[in-house]
């Protein structure tokens, strides 16, 4: 009897050690409007397990900059998704880390309540993306990742337009579904020239007449796109403006499919994203 118990303990320890630790963080999506500030969300593909209609997975939020109101830099969470119509989610474990990756807060959720994800929401997207990386079937044990190292944006290339230079983050390029994509996402940066700064300031002040001189130090704008692969259509998931100190000045979410005007910066971004998906080893996609 003692040897049997000892064997069970050893098996449990092996399961724990093999399920936790090493992680493979891939870009998931941009989250601009969180209470903690703008961040990038990553998915650990090594942690995804599924049992029938339920899936468990770990994600990591990496905030753009340390915010003056708190010292949080990263947030790690284990989530559960229930596959249905609509998708339902809840988080099971939640941890916060400072700029040195030191844990400063943890919360273990014991409530059995789920949130119904609206169609097209970031939570729904995370579940569907996680399902593409299922590692285990039939059980829902998923150990906490200990490796929180992720690579930030890698801004690449440059395309000159009348009012700005366009750069793109190659780490943000992602396709969905993974094997036969019908949509592709990319984040681009518009770095305004003198003419562009004036035009962008005027546009933002027209949206918010009470802003006064609030946009006088605008430097660049980040645009998170979703494009259709088979059709010349785009959706702006979010657009945000920043000053020279990387402080956000304006943020909006659009989530509306639109036709793409030929020769526009939107068409350029779509071509870059699709060509990068087709040839990820290429150094500089040509806009043919």
Angstrom distance (rounded) from CA 172 to CA 226: 11
Cis peptide before 86 (omega within 30 of 0): yes
The distance of Cα 105 from the centroid of its chain, to the nearest Å, equals 22
Phi then psi for residue 201, to 5 deg, are -60, -45
Averaged confidence pLDDT in the chain: 85
Q: Would you place residue 215 in the very low, low, confident or very high pLDDT band (cuts 50, 70, 90)?
A: confident
Choose between 89 and 2: higher pLDDT.
Answer: 89
pLDDT at 41: 93
For residue 9 the two structure tokens come to 């303990």
pLDDT surpasses 90 at 163: yes
CA distance 284 to 70: 39
The pLDDT assigned to 130 comes to 93
Summarised one tens digit per residue, pLDDT across range 237-288 is 999 999 988 888 888 888 899 999 999 999 999 999 999 888 765 555 444 3
Query: What integer is the mean pLDDT of 198-206?
Result: 92
Number of H helices, E strands in the chain: 4, 16
pLDDT on residue 67:
63
pLDDT one-digit tens code per residue, 95-152? 999 989 999 999 999 888 999 999 888 999 999 999 999 987 777 777 889 889 987 8
Give the separation between CA 258 and CA 237, rounded to whole angstroms: 12
pTM for the full predicted model: 0.77
User: What tokens does 39 get?
Assistant: 């961040």
pLDDT by residue (tens digit) across 52-62?
Answer: 999 999 999 99
> What six digits make up the tokens of 124?
């729904």
Say what the pLDDT of residue 16 is.
38
The stretch 183-204 carries a mean pLDDT of 95
Dihedral (C-alpha) 243, 28, 149, 10: value to the nearest 10 degrees? Answer: 160
Q: What pLDDT does 212 receive?
A: 65
Q: Both ends of the chain: CA-CA distance in Å?
A: 72
Domains of the chain and any CATH numbers: 22-137 (2.40.128.710), 155-278 (2.40.128)
Determine the pLDDT at residue 153. Answer: 86
């Amino acid at each position: 009897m003692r040897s049997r118990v000892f064997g069970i303990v050893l098996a449990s320890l092996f399961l724990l050690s093999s399920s936790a630790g090493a992680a493979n963080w891939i870009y998931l999506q941009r989250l601009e409007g969180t209470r903690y500030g703008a961040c990038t969300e990553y998915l650990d593909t090594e942690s995804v397990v599924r049992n029938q209609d339920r899936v468990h997975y770990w994600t990591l939020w990496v905030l753009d900059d340390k915010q003056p109101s708190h010292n949080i830099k990263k947030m790690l969470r284990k989530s559960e998704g229930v596959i249905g119509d609509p998708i339902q989610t809840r988080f099971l474990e939640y941890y916060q880390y400072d700029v040195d990756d030191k844990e400063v807060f943890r919360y273990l959720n014991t409530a059995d309540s789920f949130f119904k994800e609206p169609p097209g929401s970031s939570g729904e997207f995370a579940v569907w993306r996680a399902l593409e990386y299922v590692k285990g079937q039939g059980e829902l044990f998923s150990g906490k990742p200990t490796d929180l190292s992720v690579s930030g944006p890698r801004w690449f290339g440059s395309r000159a337009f009348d009012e700005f230079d366009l750069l793109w983050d190659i780490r943000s390029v992602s396709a969905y579904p993974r094997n036969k994509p019908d949509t592709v996402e990319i984040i681009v940066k518009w770095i305004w020239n003198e003419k562009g700064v004036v035009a962008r300031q005027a546009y933002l002040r027209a949206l918010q007449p009470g802003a006064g001189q609030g946009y006088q130090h605008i430097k660049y704008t980040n645009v998170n796109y979703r494009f259709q692969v088979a059709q010349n259509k785009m959706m702006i998931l979010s657009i945000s403006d920043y000053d020279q100190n990387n402080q956000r000045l304006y943020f909006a979410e659009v989530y509306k499919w639109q036709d793409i005007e030929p020769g526009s910066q939107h068409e350029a971004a779509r071509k870059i994203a699709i060509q990068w998906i087709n040839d990820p080893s290429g150094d500089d996609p040509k806009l043919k």
